[in-house]
Structure 1
Amino acid sequence: SIVESGPDSLLVKSESWLEVATFLKTTPGLDFDYLTGITAVDYYDYFEVVYQLTSMKHNHSLVVKTRCYGRENLTLPSVVSLWRGADFQEREIYDLMGISFEGHPNLKHIVLWEGFEGYPLRKDYL
């Protein structure tokens, strides 16, 4: 599940991301109850999705990264069921980077219009 860890960061296998996210939110002492932000980075060989989590109760933060390999059919599990604030952020990443979030309740365009070709924040867009 966990590929690398540091004092305030984790790299998690994409297939176990939802399980790890659930653990981070529901485990007493961790209680990561607030999703500060999600972003995605195109490294050509893979995409990295970065989650910034905060525990308001314990006043600590964590950065969790997961990777999608390849350029087509990129999918991660949605965390909207855990953190409602992921809704628009996952939609934005879907729209601009082409990463789908499995289980998202309303995964559709949020920035671009229907029929827009490509993903403008990818390095190979132009």
Structure 2
Amino acid sequence: MLLVFISIISLLSCNDSKSQKNPELSKSIERGAIVYEDFCMQCHLPDGKGVPKAFPPLDNADFLMTKRKESIKAIKYGLSGEIVVNGETYNTAMAPLGLTDEEVADVMNYITNSWSNKNNKMITIEEVSKIQP
């Protein structure tokens, strides 16, 4: 729990001015930090760097930042098969996490606005709900 608190505090201190001007996004990012710690951090690590050749990075990840629908779908339904992230091929299955559409939106807002990532367009529950398997 302390790690969640520290993560949220550090995230809030480094949020860009856009998210601070959007209280809805800031709240989503805060909730997403908790989802990340509970479901994602074990593989993608606290710094979002992932594990080379096993689990792709989320920090500065071209796949995450340019393939929005595919990234949402992977979190919502799981992922199997090869993907290429920053020129590296990964082929480790990600099981479906059983998250609600709100939790998927929140964790996407967290990871796309953490570390070196900056997302100009908030991911909404409505957007997530439209993603089909």
TM-score interval w.r.t. the shorter chain? Answer: 0.3 to 0.5
Decide which structure has greater helix share: 2
Decide which structure has greater strand share: 1
Q: If the length of structure 2 is used for normalisation, what is the TM-score?
A: 0.34
Q: If the length of structure 1 is used for normalisation, what is the TM-score?
A: 0.35
